[in-house]
Amino acid sequence: MRTFLKLKLVLLAMAAGSTLFSVPAVFAAEQFFPLLVYRSGPYAPNGIPFANGFVDYFNMINARDGGINGVKITYEECETGYATDRGVECYERLKGKGPTGASVISPLSTGITFALTEKTHTDKIPIITMGYGRSESVDGSVFQWNFPLLGSYWTAADILVQHVGNLNGGLNKLKGKKITLIYHDSPYGKEPIPLLEKRAKMHGFKFSKIPVTHPGVEQKSAWLQVRKNRPDYVFLWGWGIMNSTAIKEAAAVRYPRDKIYGVWWAGAEPDVRPAGAGAKGYQSITLQHSAGKTAVHADILKYVHDKGNGSGPKGDVGHVLYNRGMLNAVVSIEAVRTAQGKFGKKSLTGEQVRWGIENLDLDAKRIKELGIDGMMQPLKVSCSDHEGSRRARIHQWDGNNWNFVSDWIEADNSLLRPMVETAAANYAKDKGITPVTCKS
């Protein structure tokens, strides 16, 4: 009899529990973010700090502010290993989670972005590709769901050409110079090629390109060609171990490191530290920010790391890729905050968050309030311009730290925009998309 009673109690408790859990999740004030990360595999050294910055900022906002205007941030990580197929799997698994599904997705992979662009359009989930992805997705009339915020690869390539032009006394002085692109043989690495070819035609510099196959550990042939052809500048479009290997090989063939300019995905600590002293003088474009700490880092340390909830080593807070992950989280949250202004302080759908991103306006005052002063320029997104800002600086590795060596340089939109519109129109025609009419 006693056993029966116990059983009855257990069953009652289970029933009560199931009632509790069956309360429709839609009423929970939560905003769900799927996080496609790579904490293992060949690209993990770069993926880990990025993911840590992302997660730490989310946790800090929850701990300090109680979420976004009281709406708690929830997230789930899914390991992609930087592989496109696994990235798509992660997306499919996470897109429906949370009370209103995925708010926004940031895959940190151009390959995954290519694979998800059509899916997110159908699923009505915005995709933020901060500093990567399809360059033509700047055109929001065609790519309504893609947001390559702060800079596309065409923007990066354009700024790099402008920078080396400035060093030579003007773009017209590049005539006869040789620029070689060493790139990761993937959609990511191939992105800057159309822009560089166009600039080469305009200014008369000789442009050559050398692909490096994944993961980029074997580059001897590439750098022997550099040694033979002696280009004036090398642009490096690598990721992961490819970057440090490139710098080591450059040192081996004695190519001057200060003539190599990496894209912003080749300008962080994991790219230079393994190359040791050989990396001194190496430069890269920044995605506006570099390494370093601002007011927001103090809050992250106080509310997250000091409470024992940091997602990585405390010493890594403020590193380049940590900051990038953190800024990606900042713009995602600010987009939700903007959307809340229109739709209310509740769990928002992906479609509503998309509106928030498209109407994102982070001016200098707001940037200061967010505690990220000096890390990014004002960002104003619109229907026709999903990039929002096209400015960057160059930083240089001195053997221990990154230091800015240029002022802000703005990409030439009069050159980029026609390219963006032509490529976007071709994509729309290809996929049968009717572009929306943008009022802004």
Partner 1 sequence: MAFFIEVLISGLMAGVLYSLVALGFVLIFKASGVFNFAQGAMVLFAALTFVRLIDILSETFAPILLSLAITIVVMIVLAIVIERLVLRPLVNQPGISLFMATLGIAYFLDGFGQSIWGSDVYALDIGIPKDSMFILESVFEGGILVSSEDLVATLIAGVLVATLAIFFQRTRVGRALRAVADDHQAAQSVGIPLNYIWVVVWSVAGLVALVAGAVWGSKLGVQFSLSLIALKALPVLILGGFESVVGAIVGGLIIGVGEKLSEIYLGPIIGGGIENWFAYVLALFFLLFRPQGLFGEKHIDRV
Kindly list the residues in this chain that would bind partner 1 in the complex (CB under 8 A): 39-42, 44-45, 48, 185, 209-213, 215, 217-218, 220-221, 224-225, 227-228, 240-241, 244-245, 248, 251-254, 270, 273-274, 276, 278
CB 39, min distance to partner 1, A: 6
Q: Tell the burial category of 249 from Cβ atoms under 10 Å away from its Cβ (0-12, 13-18, 19+).
A: buried
Q: Please, which residue, 130 or 251, has the CB nearer to partner 1?
A: 251
CB 81, min distance to partner 1, A: 9
CB 42, min distance to partner 1, A: 4
Pure H helices in 210-343: 220-229, 241-252, 269-272, 295-300, 320-343
CB 322, min distance to partner 1, A: 13
Ordered strands of the 178-184 beta sheet = 206-212, 178-184, 233-237, 260-262, 283-285, 394-397, 402-404
Q: Which two tokens stand for residue 36?
A: 């496609």
Q: Which two tokens stand for residue 135?
A: 């360059």
CB 236, min distance to partner 1, A: 15
Q: How far apart are CA 107 and CA 355, in angstroms?
A: 20
CB 327, min distance to partner 1, A: 22
Q: Please, which residue, 190 or 345, has the CB nearer to partner 1?
A: 190
Q: Please, which residue, 276 or 374, has the CB nearer to partner 1?
A: 276
Q: Tell the burial category of 432 from Cβ atoms under 10 Å away from its Cβ (0-12, 13-18, 19+).
A: exposed
Q: Please, which residue, 260 or 333, has the CB nearer to partner 1?
A: 260
| Cα-trace Rg, the chain | 23
Q: How far apart are CA 358 and CA 356, in angstroms?
A: 5
Q: Cα angle at 298 between 296 and 304, to 5 degrees? A: 95
CB 222, min distance to partner 1, A: 8
- 346 CB neighbour count, 10 Å cutoff: 18
Q: Please, which residue, 252 or 433, has the CB nearer to partner 1?
A: 252
Q: Please, which residue, 124 or 209, has the CB nearer to partner 1?
A: 209
Q: Please, which residue, 205 or 255, has the CB nearer to partner 1?
A: 255
CB 180, min distance to partner 1, A: 12
Q: How far apart are CA 187 and CA 184, in angstroms?
A: 8
CB 398, min distance to partner 1, A: 18
Q: Which two tokens stand for residue 189?
A: 């690495």
- 401 CB neighbour count, 10 Å cutoff: 12
Q: Cα angle at 106 between 364 and 427, to 5 degrees? A: 100
Q: Please, which residue, 87 or 101, has the CB nearer to partner 1?
A: 87
Q: How far apart are CA 331 and CA 63, in angstroms?
A: 18
Q: Please, which residue, 82 or 91, has the CB nearer to partner 1?
A: 82
| Three-state secondary structure call for residue 269 | helix
CB 279, min distance to partner 1, A: 11
Q: Please, which residue, 129 or 186, has the CB nearer to partner 1?
A: 186
CB 254, min distance to partner 1, A: 7
Q: Please, which residue, 82 or 427, has the CB nearer to partner 1?
A: 82
Closest to 64 (Cα-Cα) out of 73, 76, 52, 77: 73
304-337: b or e for each residue (b if 16 or more CB lie within 10 Å)? bbeeeebbbeeebbbbbbbbbbbbbbbbbbbbbb
Q: Please, which residue, 13 or 224, has the CB nearer to partner 1?
A: 224
380 φ, ψ to 5°? -130, 110
For helices 110-123 and 84-94, what crossing angle results, to 10°? 30
CB 225, min distance to partner 1, A: 6
